[in-house]
Chains A and B, each alone.
Chain A
Amino acid sequence: MDSTATAVVDTLKKAHSGSDNSWIMHHIQDGEYLDFTPLGKVYLPQNLFGLEWLDISRHVFFLFLVSGLLTFFLIRVAGRYKKSLVPKGIANVIEVFIIFVRDEIAKPTIGKGHEKFLPYLLTAFFFILFSNFLGLIPFTATITSNITVTATLAIFSFFVIQGGGMMKNGVFGYFKGLIPHGIPVVLLPIIAVVEILGLFTKPFALAVRLFANMTAGHIVIYALISLIFVMQSYGIAVVSVGMALFVYMLEILVALLQAYIFTMLSSLFIGMAVHQDH
C-alpha cells in the first residue's frame, strides 16, 4: 500500500515539475465563481452579508440549486397525489425511490417506529442523489465531493441516531445500553471508551465514504483526460476518452449507490440505537 502511495506521489511530483496539475484540484474544489470554461466564468457576489466567511461560493450556489430542484420536484409530486392516488409522469420515478427507501431501507433496519425517521432518511437520500447526479452534468460542481458538506450530513445523521436512541430508551438507558451485558467490571472503562468512540467513528466513516467516492471518480476522469496532454499525442486521446467515458458510466452507478449506502447505513445505525438489545 505504501509503495503504491509513494509511487503516486512521485508521479505527481514528476508531473508537477513538468506541468501544473493543480487544475484537477481546482475543478473539484470550491471556488468563488461558476466555471463555464471555455465559455467564461460567472463570479458570484461576494461580501453579501458583511461577513467574509458567509460568502456564496460555487458549492453554496449548487447547494441552493439542489435544494431548489428538490423542493420544486417533490412538492410538485406531492401535488399530483392530491388529484389522484394513481401516480403519473415524474411521480412514478420519485415514488419508486420513496417506496424503496421506506420498504427496503427503513422498514427492515429500524422496524417498528420507522415512520418517525422516514422524513430524515428520505431527505438525506434525495439530497445526496440529486447532488450526485447534478455533479455529473458538465459545468456543474458536485457538492458531495466536498468534505464539509458530507461531514455536515454525517453530523445530522449522528444527531438523528443519538436522538432516536435517547428518545426510545431514555438518555441514561441509552448510554447504559451501549455497554454489552456480562462484561467483567475490569474491562468496563475500556469498553466504554471503545463504545463512545464508536459513536463518532460511524458518522465519520459516512462522511469520508461519500466524499471519497464522489471525489475519486471525478479525479480519475480528469486524470485520464490529462493523459492526453501529458503524453502530448492524439492517439492517446481515443484511449483516454474511452476510459473516461467508462469511468463516467461507473460514476452514474456510484452516484446512485452512494445515496443508497449513506441512507442505508444511517438507517442501520438508527436501528441499532433504537433497538439496543440486538
Chain B
Amino acid sequence: MSMAVLLMFAAYSEGGEGGGGLLSVNPGLAFWTVLIFLLLLLILKKFAWKPILDSLDERESKIKESLESAEKARNDAQALIEENRKNLSKAEEEAKKIIDQSRTYAEQVKTQIMEDSKAQAQKIIDNASVEIDRKRQEMFSDLKNQIAEISVDIAEKIIRKNLDKDSQKDIINKSIEDIRKN
C-alpha cells in the first residue's frame, strides 16, 4: 500500500517538477553508476576483498591449527601424567617389595645371629663349666693333699704336745671328769 502511495506521489509530482520525475531513468547517471560500480568492483576485488578474505581464511586456519595443537599438547600432557603416575606407582610398589624383602632378610639374619650367638654362648658356658669342674676337682685334690699335710702336721704337733706331761694329765683329768659326770 505504501508503495502505491509512493508511486502516486511520484506520478503526481512529475507534473509539477518539469524536469525528470522520481521514477525517470537518467542515462548519464546510469552510465556513471555502471562505470563507477565496475571500477569499484575491480579495484576492491584486487586490493581489498582478496587480501582481506585471504587473511581471514589464514587467521581462521591458524586459529584452528592452534586449537588443534593445543588439544594435542593437552592430550600428550595427559598421557605423560598418566605414564608418570603409572611409573610412580610401579616404583612405589617396587620400593615396598624391596623393603619387605630386606625386612624378611634382616629378620632371618637376626634370628640366625641370635641362634648363633646363643649356641656360642652355650658353648662358652659349657666350656666354662667343664673348666670350672676341672678346676674344682684340681682344687679339691690340692685341698685334700694340703689338708692331709696339714692334718699330718697337726697330728705331729699334737703328738709332740702330747709329750708334755701336764697336758697329758689335763686330758686324763678331763676324761675322768667326763666319765664321772656320766
Contacts and interface: CB of A to CB of B under 8 A. Distances in A.
Interface of A: 1, 4-5, 8-9, 12-13, 16, 21-22, 24-26, 28-30, 53-55, 57, 59-60, 63-64, 67, 70-71, 74-75, 77-78, 81-82, 85, 94-95, 98-99, 102, 115, 118-120, 122-123, 126-127, 146-149, 151-153, 156, 208, 212, 215-216, 219
A246 to B, nearest CB: 17
Contacts of A149: 29, 33
B89 to A, nearest CB: 45
Contacts of B59: 85
Contact of A25 (B17, B28, B39, B45): B17
A77 B56 CA distance: 12
Contacts of A24: 13
Nearest to B59: A85
A81 B8 contact: no
A212 B48 contact: no
For the complex of A and B, 6 pairs with smallest distance between CB atoms? A74-B48, A81-B55, A152-B33, A119-B45, A53-B28, A78-B51
A123 B29 contact: no
B179 interface: no
Given A60-B28, A75-B48, A25 B40 contact: no
Given A16-B16, A78-B51, A118-B49, A215 B25 contact: no
A95 B22 CA distance: 36
Given A29-B17, A74-B44, A152-B33, A219 B6 contact: yes
A71 B21 CA distance: 31
A98 B53 contact: yes
Contacts of A4: 1, 4-5
Interface in B23-69: 23-34, 36-37, 39-41, 43-45, 47-53, 55-56, 58-59, 62
Given A9-B12, A22-B16, A123-B45, A81 B6 contact: no
Given A71-B43, A147-B22, A216 B2 contact: yes
A122 B22 contact: no
B5 A25 contact: no
Contacts of A12: 9, 12
A146 B49 contact: no
Contacts of A123: 37, 40-41, 44-45, 49
A19 B71 CA distance: 74
B53 A146 contact: no
B3 interface: yes
B9 A8 contact: yes
Given A71-B43, A123-B37, 14 more contacts: A4-B4, A53-B31, A57-B28, A63-B29, A71-B47, A75-B48, A81-B52, A85-B58, A119-B41, A120-B41, A147-B25, A212-B3, A212-B6, A219-B9
Tell which of A21, A85, A95 has the most Cβ of chain B within 10 Å: A85
B47 A75 contact: yes
Contacts of B39: 67
23 contacts: A12-B12, A29-B19, A29-B20, A54-B31, A54-B32, A57-B28, A64-B36, A67-B36, A70-B44, A74-B48, A74-B52, A78-B51, A81-B56, A85-B59, A119-B41, A119-B44, A119-B50, A123-B45, A147-B22, A149-B29, A152-B33, A212-B6, A215-B6
Contacts of B29: 30, 57, 59-60, 63, 146, 148-149
B28 A85 contact: no
Given A25-B17, A30-B20, A147-B22, A60 B32 contact: yes
A1 B5 CA distance: 9
Contacts of B58: 85
Contacts of B62: 85
A55 B28 contact: yes
B37 A156 contact: yes
Interface in B134-171: none
A216 B10 CA distance: 11
A9 B8 CA distance: 7
A64 B36 CA distance: 7
